[in-house]
Amino acid sequence: MKLNCLSKHKIPFPVQTHHFNSRVLTSRFSTKNPSSSSSSSSSSSSSDSLFHRIQIIRDPKASVLPVLQQWVTERRPLDEHQVRSLVHIMKDFRRYNHALEISHWMTDSRYFNLSPSDAAVRLELIQRVHGLEKAENYFNNISKKLKTCNAYGALLSTYVRENAVEKAEATMQEMRKMGMTKSTFAYNMLINLYSQNGEHEKIDILMEEMEKEGIAYDKYTLRNRMAAYVAASNTSGIEKILNRMEADPHIPNDWSVYSLAASGYLKVGSTEEALVKLQKMEEVMPAERTKAAFEYLLSLYASTGRKEELYRVWNTYKPSNGLMDKPYACMISSLAKLDDIEGAEKIFEEWESRCTMYDFRVLNRLLIAYCRKGLFEKAESVAKKASEGRRPYASTWNILATGYAESKQMPKAVEMLKKGLSVGRKGWKPNPVTLEACMDYLKGRGDSTEMEEIIGLLKEVGSFDSHTNQKLLRT
């Protein structure tokens, strides 16, 4: 596995989804306990909220049920809106197992009744945690009252994620029969599915059906169709979608569609045309969504090779009211892509001087840039400095281990691998190629002591599974 955290072109995922703002939702858990005395109320703030208690459970395999039960035992305030919001927050954070546990607890403990939207969310979570078959069984066994367009939509989305074309088409047909295809949602799901599989003629048939049924395209329809044209390197189709969007007064010009168009032109090597689309993207970006578009701009301008444009975008849109780690990380990667290591270092230093909470993921971007250039002394020096008084991520040492392994500096690779394992959280796994290379190296030296030490560390973080065991047995 090569050291590379840069995708070729960063593209917004063109799927219609229901979005939940986790910052808004978490505010519901920040209230103080009304039964607390004035002397203890300060300790009952957001730092002791139900959300906080669950958030600090870092092990995705650990149960959150004891925390929920303890909250009830303490007679803390709890309402169905809070619990439902918590399910969505955990889902938004991709902590699907915890979200599913909370969903079941909500109804199994007889606190609240299951609504059609609850059932739809639970179906998705079951698929993500237990697989498609379990999700299908759940859908088949819920009551007719819960089998609304929400549940069918969730089932359709599940089939799209699983790339189960025939099952998705069958579900769509059922939805047609029951009059559940009066909005764009189901059509957008199928358009995305067909785009993934290169079945572009089926997309055209679906869009013709939408027109016949009087279902107006929305921005998701155009995004998904644009993504299909980009995948097919069809520049005439790209222009067709842009013209359609710009001519329809009911569809606002969507910056993400221009982002897709730019990535499509970059894919076929038309840099100048990509720059035109990026300029248009900047023109239509609403002020309140600038942050969402910022990273796409950085990545795409880096792909054009125009360093001056990259710096212009950075200086125009970079965070000013509150530090954001992700844009700094993206800028570091973008500059590294253009071989501007010195510039990447300056951006990192700027972030480091301003950050209030050290996020090692930003450092990791710089480490990857150093390793790709063979600057291992710099990489190790900055990693050690950042680790003084802080607990680095296991991935930080893993990056160095992989870089050293790829450059055949195996003693250092083994050293960094062990450092990563020593700080890894439960379930963390090192780069399997790096792990195997290190074990092969130790085997060649006949160093069973170090091999046993690594195996012991793997067991401590819970990543010594049957697959890993079989590989190491061969070693």
Q: How many other CB atoms are there within 10 angstroms of residue 299's CB atom?
A: 23
Cα distances from 419 to residues 232, 374, 400, 475, in angstroms, run 44, 20, 10, 21
Burial class (CB within 10 angstroms; exposed 0-12, middle 13-18, buried 19+) of 147: middle
Query: Which amino acid would we find at residue 186?
Result: A
Alpha carbon distance 209, 126 (integer Å): 32
Alpha carbon distance 394, 368 (integer Å): 14
Angle, to 10 degrees, between the axis of helix 271-284 and the axis of helix 290-304? 170
pTM of the model: 0.76
Q: What angle do CA 122, 125, 131 make, to 5 degrees?
A: 120
| pLDDT of 26 | 42
Alpha carbon distance 260, 264 (integer Å): 6
Q: Residue 82: which residues within 8 A CB-CB, separation 6 or more?
A: 28, 29, 50
| pLDDT of 322 | 62
37, HSE (Cβ side, Cα atoms, 13 Å)? 2
| pLDDT of 324 | 77
Question: Backbone phi, then psi, for 446, in 5-degree steps?
Answer: 70, 30
What does the H/E/C string look like for 13-33?
CCCCCCCCCHHHHHHHHCCCC
**Contact 124/157 with Cβ under 8 angstroms?**
yes
Q: How many other CB atoms are there within 10 angstroms of residue 201's CB atom?
A: 8
Burial class (CB within 10 angstroms; exposed 0-12, middle 13-18, buried 19+) of 385: exposed
Per-residue pLDDT of the chain (475 residues; tens, 9 = 90+): 444 443 444 444 444 544 334 433 344 444 334 333 333 333 334 457 888 888 888 777 889 889 888 888 888 877 888 889 999 999 998 999 999 999 999 888 766 888 999 999 999 999 999 999 999 999 999 999 999 999 999 999 999 999 999 999 999 999 999 999 999 999 999 999 998 898 989 999 999 999 999 999 988 999 999 999 999 999 999 999 999 999 988 888 899 999 999 999 999 999 999 999 999 999 998 876 677 789 999 999 999 999 999 999 999 988 766 667 889 999 999 999 999 999 999 999 999 998 888 999 999 999 999 999 999 999 999 999 999 989 889 999 999 999 999 999 999 999 999 999 999 888 788 999 999 999 999 999 999 899 999 999 998 888 776 555 665 666 5
Q: What angle do CA 111, 117, 119 make, to 5 degrees?
A: 70
**Contact 87/33 with Cβ under 8 angstroms?**
no
Please report where in the chains the tokens 């300029």 appear, as a residue. Answer: 279
| pLDDT of 23 | 39
Q: How many other CB atoms are there within 10 angstroms of residue 446's CB atom?
A: 8
